[in-house]
Structure 1
């Protein structure tokens, strides 16, 4: 592992800078939208637009890489991100922001595809699982640290938009100067939605619900904070608490996942999320309770993403894993697009309390459906299940497929014993 880190530290540093810029701009937009007088509904479209672009980028970037190579794709897309971030304070129109967010989402997806391809190339079969874990931790730390940078300036000014632009620009250097381009990324053929539904109905439904859940956390947390009157420091702490929770619980839940019926664990984790959301809704005026609720929701929703991936792998063959990943990612993307729009509408009708009500509702549906699925077919033996591999919901198809490779290698290793 030391050999991997010595060769990949520059790449991980570049990814950290990327996540600092992305995590910072996502929260900043929610705060700045309130200052500009945008409605909750308008901001929900702005936040949803990122995931429209992200889904498109995940589909088109592999072809771009095949045409011109990793280095040119990475440099071009990261340059677009840096330029677009400067445009937000210049153009104070919600529909212009929607267009800019689509472009940024597209570009970030492509940047992740490229960076994760390099990461996979830098890892060996023995270190790939650990590399993916390091990558996820760096992602989370980047988003958490980004919330602290928000306190360095005035969100009504220009400086806080310049900082993420500079961070994205600086991220080029450690990546492009130290990494050898990988072969062109070959995208696997996706499993059809009908086949995926037949293989794992819980994985199908759960990943869609998690897409809406994560989009609410990633996109609408700052909008919610402005709606209830939190100041910039409190909003930054609230968003950071979500990702602290996601980082803290990922590995304990993963440990349990490999030792019990995953459907039971999915149901239990979802129930905890329901209560976390209800606590936030009931104690909406207590900032301390809001932090606890954010920690619980982040600490349940993000591990559920990896848990549902592992559960789905339990019912597909080794040859089908790669195709399954593409379909799951697309379904998750659809949920992420719908999520901010749905929660924006609900907050417009019922007020800020709908932020927690929406997420509790999604997790209640997941818990009930997991309970229903337990009655429909027996659980596979723990010895026959695939390995749990932590992966962040912000990951591209490359990281998704790397997770599948890790699970496949672990399953093959177990079969040889």
Structure 2
């Protein structure tokens, strides 16, 4: 999708309303993500049923990636945001009223669709309120606040009984309150163009390593979000520690992305991806041998889960950077959209596959699953390094922090601005000649 900047940007004040809305909404979203798994575990739902609920969420995101932009174009950003927030608030309340796996899977599908719509509005609004000079800074602030509020949502579980309606009501309140900052802003709404058609086959041909790495990243992160809390509860951790450890894995993902990304600028990114996948396999193998709950060390578990999050959350942005190295600047936005779809399909697949490992090996099967997925990625990347030469380091695009949220984040990517700057320069020369 593309955004037309038809109104003057209003600087920091223009960025504040969407950031505040995002903070409020994502705290509730973070609470709800882990709450659903904890509640289903308390209701003795099967691992497959919980995985199905997680899959439904990412299916909603995929559907939304094709539909939400057209809806927003039709009704405008504020009305669309209000509609999505109302849908999400209603879904949150329904979770607490009807506690049944298949009903929750349907509600989670709607929730994923609405969440994708909310994030498209927020991110496009931030885009129109920023400029090419400060867009990288805005993106970095957005990422930090996104992960911080997601972690805060996990910690709310420590103070709320998951067996009551209260946590679902709080998530609904957060979705509703997030409408207020955007509704009261005076910043002009962005004009959103029609989404560009995507060719996944062409993207796979151009950057197979980027596509598969994004898919595998989704297979891992989909399980981390949806089924890792289940492992913690099955291993004997109380609700406080489930919340703590989920917050730690997210903080780890936030903390290690930048140093890993900067290191990838200095080497073949496929080598960096291989190292990340190998590290994930090693960490997972070690964790499959550890003792948990009353028989283990909480501090050691927190350290290992921090490292696991840091490695797992770094794979997607490195995959995107690798793809950008192999593509022309004008292809970056479409590539971002395609890789996001690959990631989402992986996140749909993972929670359906992981229960097979748990059924054979018990709760620790989650780490065997991570190891198998990681080793498969290692093998593919090593093969790709043999059949295709690496992009020269002097042709690397600078690493950019990103999250696998919506296609709008591609508009923040400075790697997509290079062709625009060339066009602007050419236009300027034509004006002077005239």
Coordinate RMSD, CA, aligned: 2.0
- Shift of residue 298 of structure 1? 1.1
TM alignment of 1:18-417, pairs within 5 A: 18-178=25-185, 179-190=187-198, 192-285=199-292, 286=296, 287-393=298-404, 395-399=405-409, 401-403=410-412, 405-409=413-417
C-alpha separation in 2, matches of 1:218 and 1:133: 22
C-alpha separation in 2, matches of 1:72 and 1:284: 51
Matched residue pairs, number? Answer: 411
C-alpha separation in 2, matches of 1:257 and 1:180: 38
- Shift of residue 319 of structure 1? 2.0
Any unmatched runs of 5+ in structure 1? Answer: none
C-alpha separation in 1, matches of 2:360 and 2:36: 22
C-alpha separation in 1, matches of 2:99 and 2:211: 38
Contact residue 44 and residue 344 of structure 1 kept, 8 A:
yes
Structure 1 residue matching 2:417: 3-state secondary structure: helix
C-alpha separation in 2, matches of 1:64 and 1:353: 43
Moved more, 220-229 or 100-109: 220-229
- Shift of residue 95 of structure 1? 0.5
Q: 1:6 aligns with which of 13, 30, 48?
A: 13
> Deviations 1:352-409 (Å, cap 9, x if unpaired)?
111111112212222222222222222122111122111123x11111x224x41133
Tell me the equivalent position of 2:4.
none
Contact residue 28 and residue 170 of structure 2 kept, 8 A:
yes
Contact residue 193 and residue 327 of structure 1 kept, 8 A:
yes
Structure 2 residue matching 1:397: 3-state secondary structure: coil
Contact residue 329 and residue 417 of structure 2 kept, 8 A:
no
C-alpha separation in 2, matches of 1:165 and 1:61: 21
- Shift of residue 215 of structure 1? 0.3
Moved more, 312-321 or 109-118: 312-321
Any unmatched runs of 5+ in structure 2? Answer: 1-9, 426-434
Tell me the equivalent position of 2:5.
none
Contact residue 317 and residue 401 of structure 2 kept, 8 A:
yes
Contact residue 329 and residue 418 of structure 2 kept, 8 A:
no
- Shift of residue 7 of structure 1? 2.7
C-alpha separation in 2, matches of 1:360 and 1:9: 41
- Shift of residue 284 of structure 1? 3.8
Contact residue 278 and residue 356 of structure 1 kept, 8 A:
yes
TM-score scaled to structure 2, two decimals? 0.90
> Deviations 1:129-155 (Å, cap 9, x if unpaired)?
221111111110011111221112111
Contact residue 18 and residue 122 of structure 2 kept, 8 A:
yes
> Deviations 1:232-266 (Å, cap 9, x if unpaired)?
11111111111111111111112112222111111
TM-score scaled to structure 1, two decimals? 0.94
Tell me the equivalent position of 2:431.
none
- Shift of residue 411 of structure 1? 8.3
Task: Evaluate the alpha carbon distance shift between residue 109 and residue 83 of structure 1 in structure 2; reply closer, same or farther with a 3 A threshold.
Answer: same
**Looking at CA atoms only, which structure, 1 or 2, has the larger radius of gyration?**
2
Moved more, 171-180 or 228-237: 171-180
C-alpha separation in 2, matches of 1:118 and 1:318: 23
C-alpha separation in 1, matches of 2:273 and 2:408: 25
C-alpha separation in 2, matches of 1:340 and 1:56: 18
C-alpha separation in 2, matches of 1:341 and 1:380: 35
